[in-house]
Structure 1
């Protein structure tokens, strides 16, 4: 149950709120038949229109105002196929440099930006021998998560790539590979997980209880703005020590480093628990980590698309070149999805995701998102925040909020969003900014 949970969570981002369940309803009057039932297709169409203001902070940059039109089409073909396409088109109302185009140029000025048209495309389910997924990566972790943890490929406001995830199982070997940009040479990596019980004693009744995993990740740094390349690798051993219906407890230990740089290594040991009930889906992790020579676990984290240009801290250099003090840290993570009924989809009454790490030398990092649905799901409120390097000079803070109020049985809704941004510049600095948006949306599901 544990090793594929993060991929399963990622795939659920395809599911619409009102587009029907991913599994077709079954009639109680249907008679059994040896032939498989015909596939039921569901779809959702959506159109949002809003005003968007991009505002500089600390007097840096130009004030800009846009009309944002965002069409979306979602097809749900069951557990083996799903498609979500659409992208915001921003038409300038005011502001910007002299001669600025009507359509915001930064949204479409590279090949990678065209990847934003595909929000989600999946072939094969998470339990199939082979699965492929394309789209935006939000809070993505590569299996054990000791190299890539809670990573977002859309943290740079002017870079909108589509990522890709491939999962496959052959006998005792489970593989997950990813790229952050399918149209450019950027971040890519893979983790190979070997079921040791299967190798030593034959196919077990419960898969993945004792695994040995090797992961490696490389950033080419050639698109989305040039930055230094970097390579990391990690070896992990995991044992599921307790299994109950809907519950697992595990222990994990690992060691990693930067193969090109001698003396850069780190070690980790921790415990975890996964719980799944008809109304609750919960993951908990707690780890003790050791960093040495500039290596750290979770190197490709939630702010990596900014840190690759300018790491949090007083040095003002890219993360690949920044010095990282040697020491220990305590890392904790929780992901909780709760619903009052057995809904089973992405949208629940409560969704909480929180990761925090405290270092012995005085630094503290935290990344969190929470979303709630109230008043019979007619009101949705979502908050997210990021703090990196807190307790040290040069700490980085970002936050955002979104509210949606649905009327007419959910087909019409008002929306409002706002938050802070950081725009990478050509000289490697980050220009602070903010955004605010209000508008209306309409959708139809069948």
Structure 2
């Protein structure tokens, strides 16, 4: 995603219709917009000890959003959890695990955007949720907040120079953690000069490395991938492409993987849809999408019977089929990025019997006053040591959308010092109020 799109998405996920203009204003007439918000919820956490005793908190969450148009935007705020009951003897008023490392202070910045879709250089800073690095064959649907006690601010940079397009990212700007980059070469631009449609025929090289030194110590891991993409069909509002690639673990002989697939993008006034279908080959412990939605937990203990980290796990040789669908639909062609339906689903089935599923769906009802969101992650289904996570949230706006009630709940996994993952859960209920100008 581009920085401009991510900022609008961040606003759209949380605000009512008044928070975002229906269409961007001309550059010469940009009007800065502001949103202030306050939320207060009663939060209950099942602690990592797993003894069945709940901890209770009052969670206060202030937010400030400043939208300076296409080139600049800022979103500040973080939840503060004040202990009501439970907790370890001598625990302070504020939940210690939320602020006990330098990386945790990154959660104060939810989003900082510099640049736009048309900029030569763009920068985004904030939480990474469902992030994919260009081709997505190394980093796909990754979240840097999957660990409940680790709240870093990530960042990514995009830049264009002639036929080269580059995207680089860091999962934690305040710690030595996951970092990578992908450089794509526009072959048509290189051979024939600049064309109206960029990237129709492209070659790309990506490298990602995890230093493993923040958010808990874990083994380091390095992966690389080479990709080729060709757009074979272009119609108004529709594009289809073919792709292939090969990857491996530098310095690890025999660890490699290959992929071929097809993809399609469709955009209409009411529909925005991306589809992908791939056949993948894994060998010697390498797999595509290793830095995925489960990675912040798998870096300590991968799903499966081995009981070791992802970097040390013996991933079986074999093939898999991967499918992904991302759909946004709106019945009235609303100009913002809110949709009556937002769906994101990825499924990967392996020939040796494993199944991974990652899905999220959000629907808006009753004139957009009610939003229901569900998400779930299953890793290693039908295998010993499978992992299951899920969450749900409901928001109901009233008084012209300025005041809202919210309720949420779900399951958690807490990484321990010894690398084990302790199960937990959360439930919350509260009110929020916001004002957009």
Same-fold status (TM-score > 0.5): yes
Q: Does 1:88 align with 2:88?
A: no
Q: Does 1:282 align with 2:273?
A: yes
Residue aligning to 1:413 = 404
* TM-superposed deviation, 1:58: 9.0
* TM-superposed deviation, 1:57: 8.2
- In 1: Cα distance, 2:22 partner to 2:175 partner: 32
Q: What's the secondary structure of 1:232's corresponding residue?
A: strand
| Structure-2 change in CA distance of 1:316 and 1:63 (3 Å) | same
Residue aligning to 2:191 = 200
* TM-superposed deviation, 1:423: 0.4
- In 2: Cα distance, 1:228 partner to 1:358 partner: 27
Q: Does 1:107 align with 2:116?
A: no
Residue aligning to 2:11 = 15
Q: Does 1:119 align with 2:114?
A: no
- In 2: Cα distance, 1:351 partner to 1:70 partner: 25
Q: What's the secondary structure of 2:194's corresponding residue?
A: coil
2:7, 2:73 within 8 Å by CA — same for their partners in 1? Answer: no
| Structure-2 change in CA distance of 1:115 and 1:190 (3 Å) | same
Residue aligning to 1:31 = none
Q: Does 1:258 align with 2:249?
A: yes
* TM-superposed deviation, 1:24: 4.7
- Pick one of 150, 175, 198 that aligns with 1:159: 150
- In 2: Cα distance, 1:344 partner to 1:287 partner: 32
Q: Does 1:339 align with 2:358?
A: no
| Structure-2 change in CA distance of 1:365 and 1:7 (3 Å) | farther
| Structure-2 change in CA distance of 1:284 and 1:370 (3 Å) | same
Q: Does 1:431 align with 2:422?
A: yes
CA deviation vs aligned residue, 1:152-174 (integer Å, no higher than 9, x gap): 00000000000001001111000
Moved more, 188-197 or 54-63: 54-63
| Structure-2 change in CA distance of 1:222 and 1:100 (3 Å) | same
* TM-superposed deviation, 1:56: 4.6
- In 1: Cα distance, 2:112 partner to 2:315 partner: 38
- In 1: Cα distance, 2:347 partner to 2:92 partner: 41
CA deviation vs aligned residue, 1:275-312 (integer Å, no higher than 9, x gap): 11111110000000000000000000001000000100
Number of equivalent positions: 433
Gaps of 5+ in 2: none
* TM-superposed deviation, 1:343: 2.4
CA deviation vs aligned residue, 1:316-347 (integer Å, no higher than 9, x gap): 10000000000000000000011122324332
1:70, 1:88 within 8 Å by CA — same for their partners in 2? Answer: yes
- In 2: Cα distance, 1:84 partner to 1:206 partner: 33
| Structure-2 change in CA distance of 1:141 and 1:22 (3 Å) | farther
Alignment of 1:37-76 (within 5 A): 37-56=28-47, 59-60=50-51, 62-76=53-67
Residue aligning to 2:384 = 393
* CA RMSD in angstroms, aligned pairs only: 1.5
* TM-superposed deviation, 1:14: 3.1
2:2, 2:116 within 8 Å by CA — same for their partners in 1? Answer: no
CA deviation vs aligned residue, 1:99-135 (integer Å, no higher than 9, x gap): 0111000000000000000000100012311110000
- In 1: Cα distance, 2:309 partner to 2:301 partner: 5
- In 1: Cα distance, 2:233 partner to 2:193 partner: 21
Residue aligning to 1:32 = none
Q: Does 1:445 align with 2:436?
A: yes
Q: What's the secondary structure of 2:70's corresponding residue?
A: coil
Q: What TM-score comes out, normalization by structure 2 length?
A: 0.96
2:3, 2:122 within 8 Å by CA — same for their partners in 1? Answer: no
